[in-house]
Homo-oligomer: A and B are copies of this chain.
Amino acid sequence: MQGQMMHRPLQIIDMLRYAAQAFGQEGIVSARVEGDLHRQSYVQTLARTAKLAHALTRLGVARGDRVATLAWNGYRHLELYYGVAGMGAVCHTINPRLSHEQLLYIIHHAGDRLLFLDLTFVPLLEALLPDLPEGLRLVILTDRAHMPETRFEALCYEELLAGEPDDFPWPELPEDTASGLCYTSGTTGNPKGALYSHRSTVLHALQVPLCQTASFRAGRRVLPVVPLFHVNAWGLPYTAPLSGMTLVMPGPNLDGPSLFRLMEGEEVFSAWGVPTVWAGLLAEIEAQGRVPRGFADLVVGGSAAPRVMIEAYEAHGVNVSQAWGMTEMSPIGTHGTLPPRYDHASPEERIAAKCCAGRRAFGVEFKVVGDDGRPQPHDGEAVGELYVRGNSVISGYFKNEEATRAAFDDEGWFGTGDVVSVDAEGRLVIRDRAKDLVKSGGEWISSIDLENAALSHPGIAACAVVAMPHPKWDERPVLVAVAAGDARPTLAEIRDHMAEHFAQWQLPDDLIWVEDLPLTATGKVSKLTIRERMAGYVLPELRGDRGDSA
C-alpha cells in the first residue's frame, strides 16, 4: 500500500531559496582573483543565480547540457553551481591541476557547451586552444574592467548577467535529473566521470550536518579550502546555506599566511580541506604562536591526517575531525564526530579515536569483502576491501561502460579500492589503498601505518612509503622523506623510532631523502609519480649494501 503523502522532487535550487528566506543576512565572502574581498548575501546570490539562468537560456543552454567551470572558490562559482543545476543543465567542475592531456580528454568526453573560467586560467586555456572542441563558448568570470586581452573569443560574466531579471521560473525537475559532473583525478587510465543528481545532492546535504554536528552552527563562518572544482567541495556549497552559515571563499591563495590572514579577518569558525594545506597553516600558527581568532573546528579529508597534525591543532584548542569519502560518493562516507562516550575520555584516547576515518554517515552502507570474496564482520579486526552503497554513491561512470563494469560487484555495491576494517560502532580504519599495500612474504604491510609512525619522528616533515620489488619477499617497503630541518636522521634512527609499533620485518629497508613530495591534482601525495621516479631503483640488500640499518 502506498502512503498518501505529497511527492515533491528534491531540488538543488531549493537549498539556496531556503537560505535566502531563512538566513537572508548570511552569505558569501570571497577573496577574489581580482585581489579584493567581495561580499554578498544569500538573497543577492539567489537573485544573481536567476540572472545567470536567464543568460544561459539566452545562450541556448538546454536541459542536460554540460556547462563547465575552471575556477577557484568564489561567489561566481557558487552561482554556477546553483544556476546551471537549477535550470536543469549539468554543472561540470574541472580540476585545473590536471595535465593538459587530461583536461582535453575531460572537456571532449563531457561534451561541454560552455566553459566559465577565472582570470587565472586564461593562459591555461590559451595553451589548450588548438585542441578545444569546436563551438565551445568561453566566459571569463570577471567584469568588463578586468577583461584581459586573450587569444580566444570570450564573453564577460558580469556583462552576461547585467540587465537580466532577478527571478527565474525554476522548472520542476524529476529528482533523478543529472545536476553535476566531476571527473576523478584517476592515477591510472583516463579520468572517469561521476554524474550527480538532484536527489543524491540534496540527500547528501541533509545527511552530512546530522553527523558532523560540531561543524555546523547557524550564524558562524565556514571556510572551504577544499575546492569547488573537485567533488562539490565536500558538499559545503549546499550544507552551509542550508544550516545558515556564511561561506568564506579563499580564492587562489592557499598558503599558510594567506589563509591565516583571511581566517583572522573573517573570524572563520570551521575550516575544511586536505592535510597538505593544514600543514602550511600550522607552520604559520606556530610562527605566530596562536590560531586565527574564532577558529575552533577543523575538518580534514582527502587523505589521512597524520597523528602529529591532529595533536598540534588540538593543542591549540581546535577540534579536529577527519572525514573520508570519494568523488564517487558525493563525497562524504564517514564523519569524525566522536561518540558520546568520549565526552569524558582522556586526551590520549580522544586523539587515538580521531586518527581513524570516522564512523559511517547515515545513508551510506558499508560492506567489507575479504580475500575470499566473503563479507567480513564489523569487528575492528577483519580486514578487506570496502564496498559502499547509498543514494549518494554513483551507479556507474558517465559514458564509460568498461570502467563501470570494473567498479561494481554482483550485488551492485561500489568497490572503493580501500583496504579497511570497521568496528562494531561503524568506525572505519583505512589500512591502505589496495594498490599501496606492501606485500612482503605473503603478509600485507600498511604503508599508511608506516608513514604515520615515521612522521612522528621530529626529523621528518613529510613522507611516503612505497613498495619496491624483491625476488624473495615479493615486495619490501621503502621510506621516501622530506627532512624537517638540516640534521637528517639515519635510517637506523628512524627504524628504532618506529620499532615500538612494528615487527622488524615490517620496517622500511631504505630511506631516500627528497626536497618535496609530488602531489596529485587534488593535493594528495602521488605515489604513482614517486614510483615512476624510482624506476630502476634497487633495494639495498640486492645492490649489496644494507644501508646504515644493518
| Chain A residues within 8 Å of B, Cβ to Cβ | 1-8, 10, 14-15, 18, 21-26, 63-64, 90, 174, 176-179, 194-200, 203, 206-207, 209-211, 213, 216-220, 242-244, 330, 337, 339-341, 343, 359-360, 362-363, 378, 389-398, 412, 414, 424-426
Contacts and interface: CB of A to CB of B under 8 A. Distances in A.
> Would you list the 7 A-B pairs with minimal beta carbon distance, nearest first?
A219-B340, A3-B197, A1-B64, A5-B200, A206-B206, A21-B426, A3-B178
Nearest to A15: B362
A195 B3 contact: yes
A541 to B, nearest CB: 46
Contacts of A360: 21-22
Contacts of A2: 174, 176-178, 197
Contact of A339 (B243, B244, B362): B244
30 contacts: A1-B178, A2-B197, A3-B177, A3-B196, A3-B197, A3-B200, A4-B397, A5-B195, A5-B199, A5-B200, A5-B393, A5-B395, A6-B393, A6-B414, A7-B199, A8-B363, A8-B389, A18-B362, A21-B359, A21-B424, A22-B359, A24-B425, A25-B339, A206-B206, A209-B210, A213-B216, A213-B217, A213-B243, A219-B340, A219-B341
B6 A395 contact: yes
Given A3-B177, A197-B3, A426 B339 contact: no
A176 B3 contact: yes
Given A5-B395, A178-B3, A196-B5, A24 B359 contact: no
Contacts of A341: 25, 219
Contacts of A203: 206
A270 to B, nearest CB: 14
Contacts of A389: 6, 8
A339 B412 contact: no
Contacts of A196: 3, 5
A4 B395 contact: yes
Nearest to A21: B426
Contact of A213 (B211, B218, B363, B396): B218
Contact of A210 (B24, B219, B242, B414): B242
A394 B6 contact: yes
A74 B362 CA distance: 25
A18 B366 CA distance: 11
Contacts of A359: 21-22
Nearest to A197: B3
A21 B341 CA distance: 14
Contact of A394 (B5, B18, B220): B5
A271 B197 CA distance: 38
A398 B2 CA distance: 11
A198 B426 CA distance: 24
Contacts of A207: 206
Contact of A195 (B4, B209, B363, B390): B4
A321 to B, nearest CB: 13
A90 B199 contact: no
Given A26-B340, A90-B1, A391 B6 contact: yes
A23 B395 CA distance: 29
Contacts of A194: 4
Contacts of A14: 362
A390 to B, nearest CB: 6
A64 B390 CA distance: 25
Nearest to A388: B6
A284 to B, nearest CB: 28
A122 B4 CA distance: 32
A280 B394 CA distance: 53
Contacts of A22: 211, 339, 359-360, 362, 425-426
Contacts of A23: 339-340
